[in-house]
Amino acid sequence: MKKFVITIARQYGSGGRTIGQMLAKELGVEYYDKDLITKASEESGINVALFANADEKSGKFFGLFKKKRYGGKVLNPSDSRFTGEENLFNYQAKIIKDLAEKESCIIIGRAADYILKDRDDVISVFVHAPMDFLIEQAGKKHSMSKKELEKYIIKTDKARADYYYSHTKRQWTDARNYDLCLDSSKLGFEKCVEEIKAYMDVKFK
């Protein structure tokens, strides 16, 4: 199979990260998630804590007044906006583009589907599930009440949606943004992996 990239956007608790890890293992390729932050920090020289603070989050004020979508240009260190949210995103996007250019891999979140939308070797996936399933899965990681878990999930997904919109001017949950939308509560993680592999067979063979 020729070089490929699978991007996975996911609701919190849907298992999108787990599905990505399983898929990467089966395909024998690299899996990139939070390590994208480290790579962006190393290339830019910007403190990794700044990237981590802005990771899949977007300040409401910033999102409301930012009119342009991602354009790809990174700023010089002398620019006063060098450590601003937009430039942090642009550096991370540069890392994503560089990875897509040189290797097959799985990339989790961070608007990678939009960043790589013009490439023919990319399959974009959105993993979702009903709230009861999300709460059940999130409860395996967090010691919270059902009500607290629901609030946490809603807050996390809103931050991801705001982050996505602020940089792409698209709605994060819009199925038209993705090649595949998978309900992990109905399929289970293993069958989600199978569905992605089946789509790869159709698109790439």
pLDDT at 17: 96
State the Cα torsion 74-79-84-89 to the nearest 10°: 0
pLDDT-wise least confident of 77-86, 145-154, 184-193: 77-86
Could you tell me what percent of the chain has a pLDDT over 90?
65
Of the candidate ranges 76-90, 144-158, 160-174, 182-196, the one whose mean pLDDT is the lowest = 76-90
Tokens of residue 108, six digits: 């989790």
- Quick one: average pLDDT of 27-47? 85
Residue 43 makes CB contacts below 8 A (sequence gap 6+) with 91, 94, 95
CATH number of 5-197: 3.40.50.300
The mean pLDDT value for 177-190 works out to 97
Q: What is the pLDDT of residues 102-129, one digit of tens each?
A: 999 999 999 999 999 999 999 999 999 9
Per-position DSSP letters for 6-64, written without gaps between them: EEEEE-TTS-HHHHHHHHHHHHT-EEESTHHHHHHHHHH---HHHHHHHTT---HHHHH
Q: Does the pLDDT of residue 130 top 90, yes or no?
A: yes
Structure tokens at 11: 């609701």
Q: Which amino acid is at 46?
A: I
Give the residue, 180 or 76, on which the prediction is more confident: 180
Q: How far apart are CA 141 and CA 57, in angstroms?
A: 21
- Give residue 99's pLDDT: 94
pLDDT score of 62 more than 50? no
Q: What is the pLDDT of residue 37?
A: 83
Q: What is the pLDDT of residue 58?
A: 60
Q: Where are the beta strands (DSSP E) in the chain?
A: 5-10, 30-32, 105-108, 122-128, 180-183
Whose CA is closest to 14, among 118, 160, 202? 160
Are the beta carbons of 124 and 113 closer than 8 angstroms?
yes
pTM summary value: 0.88
**What's the rounded mean pLDDT across residues 5-23?**
97
pLDDT score at 65 = 47
Report the mean per-residue pLDDT for the chain: 88
- State residue 69's pLDDT score: 62
Strand partners, 177: none
The b/e string for 165-196 (b: 16+ C-beta within 10 A; e otherwise) is bbbbebebbeeebbbbbbebbebebeebbeeb
Cα–Cα distance between 159 and 163 in angstroms, integer? 6
